[in-house]
Amino acid sequence: MRRDDGFTLIETLVALAVLATGAVALLGVVEDHTGRIAGLEDRVTLRWVAENRLAARHLGLEVQPAWDAVFGRRAAVTEAERTLTDAGLTERIVTVEGARGGVVLRGYTW
């Protein structure tokens, strides 16, 4: 009896198992990457809110509540101020908390 050219059922199942394992591994990497990108986007937008708050205070502007939202996401902003007597500076600390984390930004003025 002559063997026909081609794959047997077992060979095909082994090949499918190898491909499935690779696909699952790739899916995990893509999912992790997507989560990191979303976290980066959150940190960047929270930093914008903090920078805007520091700039408004530096310019002596009254802070508007609408400035605490970027791309429709609200952020909780807290401010602290302390005098650095040795340096003759005032340090302003702005903390911005979002849904997935927060950012702390410091600014210094005379």
Sequence-ordered list of residues with C-beta below 8 angstroms from that of 94, at least 6 positions apart, any chain: 50, 53, 54, 77, 78, 79, 104, 105, 106, 107
Cβ of 52: how many Cβ atoms within 10 Å? 19
More confident call, 40 vs 5: 40
pLDDT attached to residue 91: 95
Neighbours of 73 (CB within 10 A): 14
- Model confidence, pTM: 0.69
Per-residue pLDDT, 101? 86
- The domain limits of the chain are 9-109
